[in-house]
Amino acid sequence: MRRLVRETRLDPANFILPLFICTGEGVRRPIKSMPPQCQLSVDTAVEECRELVSLGISGVMLFGIPDVKDEVASGAYDDQGIVQEAVRAIKREVPGLIVITDVCNCEYTSHGHCGRIVDGDVENDSTLQWLARTAVSHARAGADIVAPADMMDGRIAALRTALDGAGYEKTPILSYAAKFASVFYGPFREAAESTPQFGDRRSYQMDPANTREAMKEIDLDIEEGADMIIMKPALAYLDVILQAKQRCNVPIGAYQVSGEYSMIKAAAANGWIDEERAMMETLTSIKRAGADFILTYFAKPAAQLLG
């Protein structure tokens, strides 16, 4: 983890690759809008993780794609859930890789929202217990770090209390502290099959115009016990990353999200841009802005290039 948060170079040690885990065996289902990313079953994810270690990449961020979704996101906090199975397998087979789990409900709810729906809207407070149960379940499966992505208020305190109460006081919380309501999550929602069935996420994700509000969200999360934070998206918010860096002294990750990745891939596929250079330039800019580590779908090719 120290290697993960070391400050200056562009180094595979500072990369985290997001993975989408589905059920089945031997599955590598291409995600059309994010080539060559795939939905992976647990066994192929383990293979992938072995390769990541050989490239010097520090970790993965796991997203689950359950077979069944329901109103109450049961699959998120099921000890036999898809992410829990993947965590156990990866920690058993590839123990040197840091396994971070995305703690959210939107991949598990039939309506695709990140929280519990009451009267047609996400209800903040009653969503907290789902998130806390999910985080404890991930820790029990062996997750090294849990990363709440939901943007409910008070979730960090709720997770910390639940984790400590269950004996996981050593499990760090990586908070998506500043997560903007961004168009750049589009391809991810295809990948994770988590497009909201009605409305949008603007009641709980942040207005792209607001920096001071982002700083407030960060302060609150750190006060509540966040050990590290994520800024998301990255490229359109480099100024926010820089401000966060100057303001607080916890490690800061930046998430080069799906749309940032897909734009480069699409332009390169058309011969309009040099893919390798665009990849390295954007990653470097994110690091320069102050990110200690980067969540990126380019983790493998960038590590190969740096290797």
**Residues forming the site for ligand PBG (CB under 6 A):** 102, 104, 106, 114, 149, 185, 188-189, 201, 257-258
Options 74-82, 104-112, 161-169, 184-192: segment touching Zn ion (CB under 5 A) = 104-112
Q: Using alpha carbons only, give the angle 253, 105, 153 rounded to the nearest 5 degrees.
A: 65
AA identity, residue 54: S
CB of 109 to Zn ion, least distance (A): 9
Q: Using alpha carbons only, give the angle 149, 82, 139 rounded to the nearest 5 degrees.
A: 60
CB of 185 to ligand PBG, least distance (A): 4
Contact flag: residue 94 with Zn ion (CB under 5 A)? no
Chain position whose Cβ is nearest to ligand PBG: 188
The number of residues in the chain equals: 307
Nearest to 302 by CA among 8, 3, 10, 7: 10
- 114, 117, 228, 264: residue in contact with Zn ion (rule CB under 5 A): 114
Q: Is the preceding peptide bond at 301 cis, omega within 30 degrees of 0? A: no
Contact flag: residue 104 with Zn ion (CB under 5 A)? yes
Q: 258 touches which of Zn ion, ligand PBG, none (CB within 5 to 8 A by kind)? A: ligand PBG
CB of 180 to ligand PBG, least distance (A): 10
Report how far residue 70's alpha carbon sits from residue 77's, in angstroms, rounded to the nearest whole number.
Answer: 12
Phi and psi dihedrals of 267, rounded to 5? -65, -40
Contact flag: residue 61 with Zn ion (CB under 5 A)? no
Catalytic residues: 179, 232
Cα dihedral 129, 77, 30, 59, rounded to 10, equals 80
- 106, 139, 145, 206: residue in contact with Zn ion (rule CB under 5 A): 106
Interacting residue ranges for Zn ion, rule: CB under 5 A: 104, 106, 114
